[in-house]
Amino acid sequence: MPGLLTDKVAFITGAARGQGRAHAVRMAREGADIIAVDIAGPLPPKVPYLSATPDEFAETVDLVKAEGRRIFHRVVDVRDYDGLNAAVADGVAELGRLDVIVANAGITIPEAWHDITPESFRDTIDVNVIGTWNTVMAGAQHIIDGRRGGSVILVSSLAGVKMQAFMVHYTASKHAVTGMARAFAAELGKHHIRVNSLHPGPVATAMGTGDMVVALNKAFETNPALVQMGTPFTPNWIVEPEDIAASAVWLASDEARHISAVALSIDNGMAQF
């Protein structure tokens, strides 16, 4: 039985693990071939969780192949405009087309406002904002050239529709991604390309590893009253990467063919409280 993305090709950043891997595997299961990139190596120095590894990236490749689909993969930092463009061009040459972009790669650095350095602010903006822009720029013309239309999905955050305490730089970056999605939607719409943003709340990924909890607790201690600003309406607090991937697949599919410039929250209502 055909899947929602049968014979389409999806370009996904940050695909080595977590949400990026979930997007790649679920889209492959729905019939898509995948162009996958990841830094698969050290992240900026103030990022407190463990970096993705080449072995994790290789596991994503194997999981996509296990779904019976093709995958082109390359180690690329989304801050590398030329490298990203080359990877997508080579992926399209190998797989034949491009229909979907998922700009998933991003970082977060929990810090109270007075602990943020120019370096950590710049790193956050460079990865989350410029990296997202690089991703769209690397892929959009290929979708246009295919003359079939397509879907672009920018992964923002709860922090892109509300805010997230102790993360001024992250909140700023994710609000920028939200606005970028709307702006791209306006200009790419004439090519039948829809652009939307996804806004997950807490997700069970490797962002909880390493010194992440220590960094969060240090920031929380500076203003405990702000800790409970995001409260879900349902008993669920944390979602799985596969829950985010399910929404991405729907946005990428023809079932969402009239959905564009929408900020879709997947947070159990947290953005409303």
Token pair in block for residue 96 = 């034949």
Closest by CA to 33, choosing from 86, 90, 103, 91, is 91
Give the whole-angstrom CA distance, residue 54 versus residue 181.
30
Whole-angstrom CA distances from 81 to 84, 134, 219 are 5, 6, 33
Catalytic residue, chosen from 49, 72, 166, 170, is 170
Q: Respond yes or no: is residue 170 known to be catalytic.
A: yes
Whole-angstrom CA distances from 49 to 12, 160, 261 are 21, 21, 32
Closest by CA to 56, choosing from 109, 115, 14, 101, is 14
φ, ψ of residue 177 to 5 degrees: the values are -65, -40
Residue numbers annotated as active site: 170
